[in-house]
Structures are given as C-alpha cells and as structure tokens.
Amino acid sequence: MSAASAEGTSRPSTGFAGAPMLLGVAFMTGIVLTVVFPSGREFAELTDKERVDAYSIAYLAVLTRAQQDDSNLRLAYTRQLAELGRWDEALTALDGTPPRERGSNLVPEIAGNAGKVRLELMLARARALPVDSAPRAAAFEEIHRALRAGASLTLPSARARELAALALELEDPALAARYFLAAAAAERNRLARALALAEAGRWLRASGDERSASESFRRAADLSDDEERKVSYLCAAADALEGQGRPCDAVDLLRPYVSVSRNVAVVERATALSTSCGNATDARQFGRLLRESAPDDERYVRAQVERELAAGDPAAALALLKRLVSSYPNDSELRWTTARVAEWSGQPQVALEQWLALVSSGHVRSLPPAR
C-alpha cells in the first residue's frame, strides 16, 4: 500500500518537473531561430549595413517571394541586386514584373520612394549600356517617357528640381521647364518660387516658347523683393518679348522701372528696345538718363548723339559733339559730323570752325559750298 502510494505520487512529480525543461528548450529554439533566421525587416536593416553576398541575396529572394507585401524587404532586395549591377533583376524585384513584360505603354511612376529608386535603376541600367548602341537609346527613351508622364504629377519641389535636371540631361529643355514650374508651384518661400520660375523661363526660351518664358520671368519679378533681382527678371522678360517680335511691349514692361531703378542695366535695355521699336522719343529720354548715371562715359555720349538726331533735335546733338571734339581734336570724322550737325542746327559759325580745322589738317581739300 505504501509502495503503491509512493509509486502513484512519484509519476505526477516527474511530469510537472518536465514542463519547465520543455519551455526552456522552446525558448532557446526561438532565440536560435531569431539569430539564424531574422525577420524580413531585421534582415533588410542588416543588409543595409553589410556587404552583398550570396547568402544575403538568396535569403532576400526567398523572403521577398514569401512576403510580397513587405515594401521594406523588397527595397532591400532591390538595393542588393543593384549593388551587383543586376539592373533588370533589380527592376523586376521592385516592380514584381520583368521589364520586358511591363509593356511599352506602362511607364513607371516617378513619385514616392519606390518611384525614385525605380528611376535611378533605369538610369543606371541605361548608362551601363554601350554608348551609341540601340539598347542604350531605347533605355533612355523609356526614361524620357517616364519623365513626360510624370510632368503632370504634383511633386515636392526638391524632387521636381531633380527631374528637371534629368530632363536637361536628356536634352529636353521644354520638359525641364515644366518641372521647374512644378517646383515653383510646390514652393511656399517667395524667393525659392521666384528662382524656380526664373529657371523655367530660361529653359522655355531655350525651347523656343518666348511667350511662356516672358510670363514666367514676369511672375518671378513680381515675387522678388530684391531690386537687382527684380530688374534682372524684368530684363529677361523683356528679352523674351523682343524674341516674339514685340519690342514695344518690352519697352512698356520696363518703362515703370526706368526712372526709379538705380540699375543701369534696365535703362540700357529700355533704351535699346526703344530704338528697336522705332520710338525715338523714348530712346532719347532713356539715353539722357543713362548720361546722368555716367556723364563722363564716352560710349553714352556718342550713342546719345545718334538718338538726339533721330528724335529731331540737332541742337542737343551738337552740344554733345562739341564736347567730344574738345576731347578728341584730331578725330576728323568727328569734326566732319560736327560741321554737318552745326549746319542743320543753324549754327554756321560752328560749322565753319570745323571745316577750317579739317582743311588745315589736310582731311579735306576745300570748304564745302555755302548753303
């Protein structure tokens, strides 16, 4: 009885003592599995820090197939393949579809993190192909299609600028301008928006779209608080208007700033545009402002002579010519012009002085007949 009791009580005791041992074994097995076979996220973080090897590629390939919705894992696998230069496999891993099966009408999305990686892979693959080869041209054309499709997307400013730079690399200034306009639309800072609009204007001009370029530069000027920058953008807008064959409109654009601006460049530009426009009165007036800004600049004095004559004021031209003659008494052409202008302005005595000087210097043989 006592032996049976002892035997009966000993069995439960053995079973209870085995439970902690089983739990311990299970716990240790979990640790081993965690260390030897990390989760997809852990392995993705690990492979970002370690060099690529056959183990990591093989393991990631298996995990990616098993966990197709894990974007972090897919990106890690893609980066590993890219490091080995296996561009097609990397694109397949990223998109889940081989490039040849995506179809010619399916252009990759360029927004977002995955889209950025995709475009970088496409670029790397294209650049790795032989120069001047048909596959390389086709690869870049695929990138070009992606950029054209993405130009209608709403993008962060920095991303839009990156894509604009890529469009310029592909020698498509019109597309680059669209991305700069997208960058401007995404900017809240006035200066940054103005800079993006100015870049858009620059490449719109390069693509031959003078009308849109002038509007883009004008918007950039409106956003600029710095006077020098504003004037620079206005002059660029005026140049674009002139490029459209509208020099008079360009003058109208600059006119409000000519008299108040301390920037000589805007006055010079307005003066030249007025001459191109055939507006001799404005050209003369703006030229006088130039002379006020630099009264001793011979270039302005000589140019103003022509403008005064074009505006029908030979007396004003003569005053400038007499000043030039006093500085350059041996300039026979200058004396000849002064004599003629003196005659036109009704000052025969001044004309005679110039003719006599020309005769005495041997530049003319005799005085012209009296008129």
- Specify whether the CB–CB gap between 75 and 117 falls below 8 A: yes
Structural domain harbouring 344:
324-371
- Specify whether the CB–CB gap between 109 and 119 falls below 8 A: no
The pLDDT, as a whole number, for residue 55 is 56
Q: Is 229 helix (H, G, I), strand (E, B) or coil?
A: helix
Q: Is residue 47 part of a domain?
A: yes
The pLDDT, as a whole number, for residue 296 is 83
**309 CB-side CA count, 13 A:** 18
Residue closest to 58 by CA, chosen among 27, 85, 33, 80: 80
pTM of the model: 0.65
Q: How far apart are CA 332 and CA 309, in angstroms?
A: 20
Residue closest to 209 by CA, chosen among 190, 170, 228, 181: 181
Q: Is residue 357 part of a domain?
A: yes
Q: Is residue 84 part of a domain?
A: yes
- Specify whether the CB–CB gap between 186 and 174 falls below 8 A: no
pLDDT above 70 for 28: no
The pLDDT, as a whole number, for residue 5 is 47
Last residue of a domain, one of 48, 77, 98: 98
Q: Across the chain, how many H-helices and E-strands are there? A: 19, 0
pLDDT tens column, 259-303: 777 788 889 999 999 999 999 999 999 999 999 888 888 999 999
Q: Is residue 94 part of a domain?
A: yes
The pLDDT, as a whole number, for residue 124 is 78
Q: Which residue has the higher pLDDT, 197 or 360?
A: 197
Angle at 223 between CA 222 and CA 227, to 5 degrees: 75
Q: How far apart are CA 78 and CA 118, in angstroms?
A: 9
Q: How far apart are CA 222 and CA 233, in angstroms?
A: 9
Angle at 162 between CA 205 and CA 83, to 5 degrees: 140
DSSP 362: T
Q: Is residue 58 part of a domain?
A: yes
pLDDT tens column, 114-169: 667 777 777 877 887 888 899 889 888 888 988 898 888 888 999 899 999 999 98
Confidence of residue 254 (pLDDT cuts 50, 70, 90): very high
Q: How far apart are CA 92 and CA 102, in angstroms?
A: 10
Least confident of 20-34, 66-80, 131-145, 253-267: 20-34
Q: Is residue 21 part of a domain?
A: no
Last residue of a domain, one of 67, 83, 98: 98
Q: Which residue has the higher pLDDT, 109 or 211?
A: 211
Q: How many residues does the chain have?
A: 371
pLDDT tens column, 346-358: 999 999 999 998 8
Cβ neighbours of 150 (radius 10 Å): 23
DSSP of 20-40:
HHHHHHHHHHHHHHHHHS--H
Q: Is residue 37 part of a domain?
A: yes
Phi/psi of residue 347, nearest 5 degrees:
-125, 75
Q: How many domains does the chain have?
A: 2
The two structure tokens encoding residue 282 = 């404005």
Confidence of residue 9 (pLDDT cuts 50, 70, 90): very low
Cβ-count burial 256-292 (b if 16+ within 10 Å, e if not): ebbeebebeebbbbbbbbbbebebbebbbbbbbbbee
In the block, tokens 């592909």 appear at 170
Last residue of a domain, one of 73, 98, 123: 98
